[in-house]
Amino acid sequence: MNRCDRRLVACALFAIIAVVAAASYDRERLEIAKQILEEVPLIDGHNDLPWNIRKFLRNQVNDFELDTDLTVVEPWSISKYSHTDLPRLREGMVGAQFWSAFVPCGTQNRDAVQLTLEQIDVIKRLVEKYPQQLQFATSVTDILQSHGARPRKIASLIGIEGGHSIANSLAVLRSYYQLGVRYMTLTHTCHTPWADSANEAPAANGLTDFGEKVVREMNRLGMIVDLSHVGENSTRAAIKLSKAPVIFSHSSVYSLCNHNRNVPDDIIKSLKDNGGIIMVNFFPDFVKCAPNATLSDVAEHFHHIKRLVGADYVGIGGDFDGVNRVPRGLEDVSKYPELFAELLRSGQWSVQELKNLAGLNMLRVMRQVEKVRDEMRTNGVEPEEHPDSPSDNGNCTSNAFYTENV
C-alpha cells in the first residue's frame, strides 16, 4: 500500500469514527430529552383533533379508536391535517394537552355557542372513553396528578379558540368555565365586536369597554387570556389590563417570519412584566414564511425568545391537527423528544431551562392565574355585568320586553 492509499484509508476511518461518534451523541441527547420529559409534564398549548373529529366523523366518537395507529386508518391516513393518536402521544411523551374547542368564524352571530358546546362535549367524551390513558384536567393539581399516576395519564384540558364563541355574553363565558374551559383566545381570524383579529384591519384598535370586561371576568374566573390570532393593539391592551399572566397558545416570532400570526419582539418583551409565555407554533408558514421548514428552523424561534427574554417565558404550541404542513423532523406528536434533543444539540439550553420550557413555565402561569382568581374572590370582586351585548349584528337572540302581564 503506497502513501496515497494509506492516506485515503486513514481519512475513511476518521470519517467513519466521526459518524459513529455523532450518532452516539445524538442518542445520548435523545435519552437526556426523554429523561426531562419523564420528570416534567410536557404541556402542549394547542391541538385541533376535536375539530377533525367533527369534520371526519360528525362528532361520532363511539366507534372512533384513538388508541390505534391512525396512520393506517382512513380518513385519517389520507388527511394532511392528521398528526395525533394515543400511540403517538405516548411516543412523544406528551404530559398535558390543551384540546381546542374551535368553531369557525362563519358561526359568529349564528350558532357559535351551540357548536362550541358540542366541541366541549366531544372532548369530554373522548377523555371518558380512555380513562386509563387520558384524565380530564382543569388545574395545576390535576396535571401533576395525571403525570404522577401509574400508569401515567395525559392531562386533557380545554381551550376555546375564538371569542366569537361567547356570542357577546359574559354569562356564556362563565358557563364555559364551569364546563372546564381554562383558556380562551380572544379572537380567531375574524374580529369580535370587542377585540381585533390579526387577520383584519383594526376596528376596535384595542379593546372596547365590553372587551375589557371580558378580560377582567376571565381573570376573576381563573380562565387564561390567550392572545394568539389577536391584533397587535388588542394584544397590547389585554396584556396591560390583565392582572394575571397571558399566553400565546400557538404563535411564533415575527422578527424571524413577518407573518401577522406571529408576535413582535416588543410584545414578547412585555411578557416579562406580565409573567406570561409564548408557546411556539410549528406551522412552516409561521416558522419560515414558506411552505417548508425543518426542526432546526423551529428551534431558531425558541433560541430567539430565550435570547430576548430568557427561558422562563416560552412554551410549546405545536398546532398539530390544525395545519396541513409540518416541519421535517416534527411530523406529528411523536416527535417532541427530537425537539428537545435539537435544543440540547445547540448548546444554548441547560437541562433546567428545558424543563421550564417543557411544562414548568406553563404550570407557573396557571398557578398565578389561579392565585389571581382566588384573591379576587377573597376580596369580594363581583362578576362583570353588561346590560346589552356590544353588537348583535343580526345574532339570533330574542329581545326581552319588560312589560307587566295584566
The residues annotated with a catalytic role in the active site are 46, 48, 161, 188, 229, 250, 319
150 is written with which cell numbers? Answer: 401509574
Residue given cell 407557573 in the structure block: 364
132 CB neighbour count, 10 Å cutoff: 10
- Asked if 253 and 297 touch (Cβ cutoff 8 Å), the reply is no
What is the DSSP code (8-state) at residue 163? G
Q: What amino acid is encoded at 178 in this protein?
A: Q
- The Cα 288–Cα 258 span in angstroms is 9
Residue with cell 351585548: 389
Q: What are the φ/ψ torsions at residue 48 (nearest 5 degrees)?
A: -100, 20
Q: Which three cell numbers stand for residue 46?
A: 394547542
From 131, 133, 128, 155, select the one nearest 142 (Cα to Cα): 155
Q: Which helix (H) or strand (E) holds 42?
A: strand 42-47
The sign one gets for the Cα dihedral 92, 98, 102, 108 is negative
